[in-house]
Structure 1
Amino acid sequence: MSCIVRLLVMPVLLLLSSVTLASASPDRVALVLGMADYETITPLTNTRNDAEALAETLTDIGFDVTLGIDLTEADLRQVMKDFSFRSETADLALIYFAGHGIEVQGENFLIPVDARPRSNIDVQQQSVSLKEMLAVVEKARVMRIVILDSCRDNPLGGNIDPDAVLQSALQATDEATRGVGGLAPAKPDRGTLVAFAAKDGQVALDGTRGNSPYARALMEKMAKPGLEISLMFRQVRDAVLEETQNLQEPYTYGSLTGTPFYLTGTPDGDTEVAEAEPTKTWSKLRPDQESQLLALANLGDTRSMLGLAYIRLNPEDTRFDPAQAVSFLERAVERGSPEAQMELAKLYEQGIGVTVDEARALELYQAAADQGFADAINDLGFLYYQGGLGLRPNPTKALELFERAADLRHPEAQFNFAALIDDGMIADKGPKDAASYLYAALRSGSQDVLNLLLERPTMFAEETRRELQSQLQAYDFYTGTIDGDIGPGTKRGIRAAYGLE
């Protein structure tokens, strides 16, 4: 993501404000789950096939895939725990679940093969919730996707009769289904996408051709080179609607970042998940995909508006048109997009496509910060610290904002706040807290943080360095002496925590 570089010299070090993501290996990880041979619930025919085939597709396009078939609850939770730790150093973490799922009291539950649900309480106690699935991927560095080929509710209220569920589903359509009624709408955090095989109120068909219609469409579109991810899911939707004669309409929830993603490489063959400059990456969009983006923007999709604005902010692109970029951003701002608020704030601050208007820029930064947009919170902290856009310096307010951005896992804010703690500027926090923020910054993926810890570790006090060694040791990244000496062994641990070893 791009943001204004705001450099601030503190008593010991240079604070950071720009996000630089470096490649870690693997940069894309996937957990693929297929539940078919249920012990007490009616088995499903194609979920095993779907999971195995999708795992192969994801492997072919460069994902590091963990495949789980017919897992018990205990096995499922262990696999999720392991995958959660691995996903922290990945740019993109994806989970695909094919199997039975039920909505209970507005919450979605995904059922392992050994569950014996006869009541809502049984479902809640013996299944994994969507919230838990989202928590597994929440620390991935750039993007998180959870795909549920499993849409069904609890049609019988407090008591669940699995045979009645199946009979109800079969009455709804001539083709076997994975449930009836649909899962509850999801509300994932920003940067996370939840994709349902069927929107609420519809069934997800199991399929009669070896795979479900949804899985088949996913595999086809995922493997298509140069297809931006938001357009990919749109094409999946259209393909499923066509195959099922409008009986099943896939639906996505969430708000992806404005950074474009190409699961099988960009139109020019680049396989990177993300770039630091979204203007350049969006400019790689083919004309036919730009037309699709325009259509989505006209339907109110703010991410499409952002993409179109980024294209017109690239001076190397023939479509360079800052005034038109402002128009797209204004439309997205009207619909409440915090990233559009942030980008438009920068244009008003710098006078790009508009006349310089510091009051309007500050208003937009504040609006994005009020929505919990970490980049805006961090930059607003610098404005309050240094004084800018008409603000008087207010270090107390700045420190509050730095802490808030750090707790939202903004890597540079995490590093900055660790440095402020180390300098004794945060009264109620000490070396252990500073080390925790440093460790979190490493896991979040800033190469600037990595380089500073490797090249200038003595900018931090010895006690903070010892606490960092203890943090690394707690996660099996370091086995040496806790002495505060950032030597070869500790540096190996730092690189490992980052994801390079």
Structure 2
Amino acid sequence: MISFLRILAAAACLLLTPLSAQAARDKIALVIGMANYQFLPPLQNTHNDASGMAETLQSIGFDVTLSLDATAQQMTQALDDFAFRSEVADLALVYFAGHGIEVQGENFLIPVDANVSSNLDVQRQSASLKQLLAAVDHARKMRIVILDSCRDNPLGDTIALEAPQAPAATAQDTRGGGGGMAAVDPDRGTLVAFAARDGQVALDGTGSNSPYAQALIQKIAQPGLEISLMFRQVRDLVLQKTGNLQEPHTYGSLTGVPFYLSGTGADGAVSLPAGTSEAWSAVKPDQEEQLLALAELGDTRSMLGLAYMRLNPNAGRFDPAAAVAFLQRAADAGAPEAQFELAKLYERGTGVAADPAKALQLYQSAALQNFADAINDLGFLHHQGGLGLPANPQKAYGFFQRAAELRHPQAQFNFAALIDDGLVPGKGPEDAAQFLYAALRSGSSDVLNLLSERPTMFTLPTRRALQSELKAKEFYQGSIDGDFGPGTQRGIRRAYGIED
């Protein structure tokens, strides 16, 4: 059984190799700095912080858009443009330095033209953190939002623009009143980094950059530093620089794939093996020591990485039983990716005695946490019958739909094929086309290849609907005839992220 890729089409099951090629491997960033506020106190270092971040990110291979002193309209437009571009990027990052305010549990980032004197003003005239998250939400591998603006609304409905600073922060200016921003819970694969833990304020610093920006600029540019460890080292640097007055904090759950913002090449690229186990095996020894220490403290992603290392038969650490132990600890702590990987080991009998019932229970536990890989696999298991389940195609369709709606590229294809076959009541060619388009934008090379090489596997109405979808997004200008000639093929490649 291939656990990570199931593509069903026209009653035939096509088992393909997993995402073997990606056209778009780019890193894009939107860097925003607000300093010269029209109605709020100006900030001293935010232009320097934003410009320094933009320069650093560009030096390590990011395509950077820098926006200084944006109005509300300009900020909204920049976020909308970035959201569309991020759909074909591997990594999308937004950095904001400026006034930020927490209002009724929601975080808002204030543009330079905001004239706010109440909570309602803030909500109407500012960008919410939700908007920043939406701007990175469809990036293919990693999504990061960094806020060097941990501020709150200290007086409820009346914002005290000239409120005195908290006594602990008198040695250095802060970017607003005391109290910090509200904690957040982003989706899996998205990281939100605050300059200060919720309830704290971020210091502007006594030099040309804030302590947080200084630490970020230093660590982001460090070659070969895995992203989770990078942000932990940033935290340690800021604590050191501020005498423990400011502790950065990150929220979110990264995937189990190691990721590096800066590689070893001049263009910031990092060359890693394709497989997750092989990629973790390439982690430097000093970073493995950090992962071991973090695992002892209960960090489930570190446990997952250490398990992947021990599942690589081509590396000196190969130890499936140890991998099972790491995964079991992480699974017991509720990590869905660990539950999914442990399920595969129980299914195959790798490092542990084969146990189909245990494997099924673990797949189901991961699926209950909306882990799309597990949901898609359960669809396959119900469709074909497996792990003691009887074949039940009708039940499988519900799993494929659920995984597709969670933007699992293979499930999107699966569900489009089922719709095209007339097997999903209430859905037609337009729905199938929308799922196919979404799978292309998600970066599935398998879907790209199938639509390029075997378009007639779909009915004429679905092909026409896909052409209409491509035309609506301005990737295609030809006739809506269902003929996937050179023009349509070019539109498909453009939607995927390949520009001829």
Per the normalisation by structure 1, the TM-score is 0.96
1:154 and 2:186 correspond = no
Between 1:167-176 and 1:461-470, the stretch displaced more is: 167-176
Say whether residues 1:175 and 2:172 are aligned partners: yes
Structure 2: how far apart are the matches of 1:17 and 1:220? 42
User: Relative to structure 1, is the Cα distance of residues 393 and 268 closer, same or farther in structure 2, using a 3 angstrom cutoff?
Assistant: farther
Other-structure match for 1:358: 356
CA deviation after TM superposition for structure 1 residue 286, in Å: 1.0
Pick which of 153-162 and 17-26 moved more: 17-26
Cα distance in 2, alignment partners of residues 49 and 270 from structure 1: 22
2:27 is the counterpart of 1:28: yes
Q: Give, as a single letter, the amino acid of the residue that structure 1 aligns with 2:409.
A: P
Partner AA of 2:382 in structure 1: Y
Q: Are residues 1:377 and 2:375 paired?
A: yes
2:147 partner SS: strand
- Give the structure 2 partner of residue 399 of structure 1: 397
SS of match in other structure, 2:165:
helix
Q: Which residue of structure 1 lines up, in the alignment, with residue 340 of structure 2?
A: 342
Equivalent position SS for 1:162: coil
Q: How many angstroms does 1:26 deviate by?
A: 5.6
Partner deviation per Cα, 1:228-252 (whole Å, 9 max, x = no partner): 0000001100111101110111000
Does residue 198 of structure 1 match 2:196?
yes
Indicate which of 381, 384, 406 corresponds to 1:408: 406
Q: Is the 8 A contact 1:92 1:142 kept in 2?
A: yes
2:427 matched to 1:429?
Answer: yes
What pairs up with 1:428-447 in 2 under 5 angstroms? 428-447=426-445
Runs of 4+ residues deviating >2 angstroms: 5-19, 21-26, 167-173, 266-276
Structure 1 residue 19 displacement after superposition: 4.4
1:271 equivalent in alignment to 2:274: no
- Distance apart, 1:199 and its partner CA: 0.3
Give SS of 2:162's match.
helix
Aligned to 1:78: 77
2: distance between equivalents of 1:233 and 1:5?
Answer: 29
Higher mean alpha-carbon deviation, 173-182 vs 324-333, is at 173-182
Q: CA deviation at 1:24?
A: 3.1
Over residues 340-391 of structure 1, what are the superposed CA-to-partner deviations in whole Å (9 max), with x where a residue is unaligned? Answer: 0000000000001000000000000000000000000000100001110000
- CA distance, structure 1, for counterparts of residue 17 and residue 89 of structure 2: 19
Give identity over the alignment, percent.
Answer: 66
C-alpha distance in 2, partners of 1:249/1:169?
16
Return 5+ residue gaps in structure 2 as ranges.
none
Tell whether the 8 Å contact from 2:7 to 2:413 is kept in structure 1 after alignment: no
Distance in 1, matches of 2:294 and 2:285, equals 14
The residue type paired with residue 100 of structure 2 is G
Q: Secondary structure at the match of 2:462?
A: helix
2:419 corresponds to which letter in structure 1?
I
Counterpart mapping for 1:112-261 below 5 A: 112-164=111-163, 167-169=164-166, 172-179=169-176, 180-261=178-259
Letter in 1 for 2:434: S
Q: Is the 8 Å Cα contact of residues 17 and 378 (structure 1) preserved in structure 2? A: no
Q: How many Å apart are 1:48 and its aligned residue?
A: 0.5
**Deviations 1:173-195 (CA, angstroms, capped at 9, x unpaired):** 22101132111001000000000
Superposition RMSD in Å = 1.9
1:387 has 2:397 as partner: no
Decide whether the 8 Å contact of 1:150 with 1:197 is kept in 2.
yes
Q: Which moved more, 1:153-162 or 1:39-48?
A: 153-162
Partners of 1:150 and 1:358 in 2: CA distance: 50
Residues 281-325 of structure 1, C-alpha deviations (whole Å, 9 max, x = no match)? 110111110011111111111110000000000001101100000
SS at match of 2:251: strand
Distance in 2 (alpha carbons) for counterparts of 1:42 and 1:56: 26
Amino acid at match of 2:372: A
Name the structure 2 match of 1:367.
365
Q: Given residue 173 of structure 2, which amino acid in structure 1 is its aligned partner?
A: A
1:213-263 deviation digits (Å, cap 9, x = unpaired) = 101111111111111000000110011110111011100000000000011
User: Which one-letter code corresponds to 2:175 in the other structure?
Assistant: R
Compared CA separation, residues 328 and 171, structure 1 to 2 (3 A): closer
SS at match of 2:397: helix
8 Å Cα contact 2:272-2:282 kept in structure 1: no
Going from structure 1 to structure 2, the CA distance change for 1:172 and 1:8 (only over 3 Å counts) comes to closer
Aligned to 1:473: 471
Partners in 1 of 2:207 and 2:139 — Cα distance?
34
- Relative distance call for 1:23 and 1:6 in structure 2 (3 A) is closer
Q: 1:204 to 1:273 in 2, by over 3 A?
A: farther
Alpha-carbon separation, structure 2, partners of 1:475 and 1:423? 25
Is the CA contact (8 Å cut-off) linking 2:277 and 2:309 kept in structure 1?
Answer: yes
1:99-124 C-alpha deviation (Å, 9 max, x unpaired): 00000011111101001110011111
Partner of 2:61: 62
Between stretches 54-63 and 5-14, larger displacement belongs to: 5-14
Letter in 1 for 2:184: A
1:88 aligns with 2:73: no
- Say which SS state the counterpart of residue 117 (structure 1) adopts: coil
Distance 1:388 1:64, change over 3 A: same
Deviation track 1:147-178 (CA, whole Å, cap 9, x = no partner) reads 000101111111112112xx235774221011
Quick check: 2:61–2:267 contact (8 Å CA) kept in 1? Answer: no
Q: Classify 1:5/1:77 alpha carbon distance in 2 versus 1 (closer, same or farther; 3 Å).
A: closer
The letter of the residue matching 1:174 is: A
Q: 1:275 to 1:482 in 2, by over 3 A?
A: farther
2:2 touches 2:15 (CA, 8 Å); kept in 1? no
Where 1:320 maps in the other structure, the secondary structure is: coil
Q: Which residue of 2 aligns with 1:103?
A: 102
Q: Using the TM superposition, give the Cα deviation of residue 483 of structure 1 relative to its aligned residue in structure 2, in angstroms.
A: 0.8
Q: Which amino acid aligns with 2:279?
A: T
Change over 3 Å in CA distance of 1:9–1:112 after alignment to 2: closer
Question: Take 2:355 and 2:441, find their aligned partners in 1: how far apart are those partners?
Answer: 37
**Aligned residue identity for 2:147:** L
**Aligned residue identity for 1:62:** G
How far did residue 276 of structure 1 move? 4.1
1:52 is aligned to 51
The alignment of Structure 1 onto Structure 2 pairs a total of residues equal to 498
